[in-house]
Structure 1
Amino acid sequence: MKLLLIHTGGTIGMAETPDGLAPRKGLVEDAITVRLPDGAELVADVFDPLLDSADVGPSHWNRMLETIRRHPGTPVIITHGTDTMAFTGAALSQALAGENRRVILCGSMLPLGQKGDAEGNLDLAIRAASAQGPGVFLAFAGKLLPAAGLVKHHSHEGDAFRSQPQAALGVPQRRTFIDRKLAILTLSPGLPAASLKAILETLDGAVLRIFGAGTAMNDGQLLKVIADAVAGGKRLRAISQCEAGGLEPGAYAAGAGLWGTGIENGGTETPEAALIHLWLN
């Protein structure tokens, strides 16, 4: 058995220093090596410098994809910080759709060696990587979660993640991430139309978090900003501000104006999944 490790950084690979927790090279690689079954071979690609997950973005997703594709047929474990784990989960799930790969994401709320969750999460990740069947998953808190719709719902507890069901993934038109200016924006009561217009002018597209099952303020100026952006070629994709349930256009009259702008329906997509959809399609 061969196992590919891509270690990006994050809490799991940190250790105590006089200045507080900091990345320690070799910590994750050694922890996995001693856990591998006899005869198994570890191939490691370690980011240098190791990254806080807050700094992970499209160029790093491309590097992960490049490394995965250089090792066809090899199961993969990616160790990663928890703060942007949902973005990376959505990115790899969508970009690798149809490629028959098995990828296990893994992180922790406490570092290795601190009697926390890191060792258990790594053990689960190794078992999951050796199992059959394609897909991208997160090994965390004793659970194997589909990574396409991850939600980090708690900032401190060990059981920090949930996974929201997502629509079946087709094969994307673009399998790497190009330079697009995208953002996740949130409708909130009293949002000035001029503010939304100003930020949309700097973007190629955006995910717009709207209310409930698909409503928005009945503000003619705001709706015109959205309609003008769509007419001008900007990709705008709507999702619900609710964690679960998704959108149902037409369910409420209060959403009629919004859906008349031509905005896309993100359905049950999480914010992270909707953003990746705009990047890849």
Structure 2
Amino acid sequence: MKLLLIHTGGTIGMAETPEGLAPRKGLVEEAITKRLPQGTELITDVFNPLLDSADVGPAHWNRMLETIRSHPDATVIITHGTDTMAFTGAALSQALAGEVRRVILCGSMLPLGQEGDAEGNLDLAISAAMGTEPGVLLAFYGRLLAADGLIKHHSQEADSFRTQPQATPRTTKRRTFLDRKLAILTLSPGIPADAVEAILEKLDGAVLRIFGSGTAMNDTNLLKVLAEAVKSGKRLRAVSQCEAGGLSPGVYAAGASLWSTGIENGGTETPEAALIHLWLN
């Protein structure tokens, strides 16, 4: 069996320094090597410098995809920080859809060697890598979670992730991340229309987090800004601010004006999955 380890950084591979926790080369590679079954060929790609996941973005997703595709006969483990794990999970799930690959994401809330969750998560990731069913999964806190709809719901506890089922379309096209300017915007009570307009002016598109099953404030100026953005060619994709349930346009009259602007319905997509959808489609 061939196992490809892509170590991007994150808490799992950090160690104490006088300034606090910081990445240390070799920790993750050594821990995985000790745990591998006999006969496993380990291939490693270690980011240099190692990253805090707050710094992970489209260029890094493209690097991961390039490395994965250059080893078509290998199962993949990617070690990664937890803060942007949901973005990377959605990115790889959508970009690799249809390529019949098995990719296991792994991270931890405490570093290796601190009697926390790191060792158990790594053991689970290696065990999961022995499977054959294609998909992108997160190995965390004793569970394998579909990575296309991850939600980090707790910032401190070891049981920090949930997953929201997504409808990830299959494709035969190999996709990478283009140079697009995108963002997630939350529509909140009292948000000035001119502020939204100024932000959208700098973007190619945006995910809009709207209320409940699909409503927003009945602000004539804001609705005009959204309609004009769509008319100019900017893609605006809406998702719910609720963690589950998704959008149902037309249920409430209060949402009629919003949907008339031409925004897209993200359905049950997480904000992270909706953002990746805009990047890839």
Q: TM-score range by the shorter chain?
A: over 0.9
Q: Residues 6-34 of structure 1, C-alpha deviation per residue, up to 9 Å, x if partnerless?
A: 00000000011222211111100000000
How many percent identity over aligned positions? Answer: 80
Letter in 1 for 2:77: I
Unaligned segments of structure 1, at least 5 residues: none
- In the other structure, the counterpart of 2:137 is 137
Q: TM-score, normalised by structure 2?
A: 0.99
Contact 1:173 1:280 in 2 (8 A): no
What secondary structure is seen at the aligned counterpart in 1 of 2:35? coil
Instruction: Find the aligned partners of 1:40 and 1:276 in 2 and give their Cα distance.
Output: 33
Query: 1:62, CA displacement in angstroms?
Result: 0.1
Structure 1 residue 44 and structure 2 residue 44: aligned?
yes
Shift >4 Å, 4+ stretches: none
Contact 1:103 1:135 in 2 (8 A): yes
CA separation of 1:99 and 1:82: change in aligned 2, threshold 3 A = same
Q: Please report the RMSD computed on the Cα atoms of aligned residues, expressed in angstroms.
A: 0.9
Instruction: Find the aligned partners of 2:237 and 2:41 in 1 and give their Cα distance.
Output: 43
Structure 1 residue 203 and structure 2 residue 196: aligned?
no
Query: 1:167, CA displacement in angstroms?
Result: 1.2
Contact 1:89 1:147 in 2 (8 A): yes
- In the other structure, the counterpart of 2:61 is 61
Structure 1 residue 125 and structure 2 residue 125: aligned?
yes
- In the other structure, the counterpart of 1:266 is 266
Instruction: Find the aligned partners of 2:20 and 2:196 in 1 and give their Cα distance.
Output: 40
Structure 1 residue 187 and structure 2 residue 190: aligned?
no
- In the other structure, the counterpart of 1:32 is 32
Which residues in structure 2 correspond to 1:46-195 (within 5 Å)?
Answer: 46-171=46-171, 175-195=175-195
- In the other structure, the counterpart of 1:216 is 216
Unaligned segments of structure 2, at least 5 residues: none
CA separation of 1:173 and 1:218: change in aligned 2, threshold 3 A = farther
CA separation of 1:61 and 1:168: change in aligned 2, threshold 3 A = closer
**Count of equivalent residues:** 281
Instruction: Find the aligned partners of 1:241 and 1:110 in 2 and give their Cα distance.
Output: 29
Contact 2:78 2:103 in 1 (8 A): yes
Q: Residues 17-57 of structure 1, C-alpha deviation per residue, up to 9 Å, x if partnerless?
A: 22221111110000000000011111000000000000000
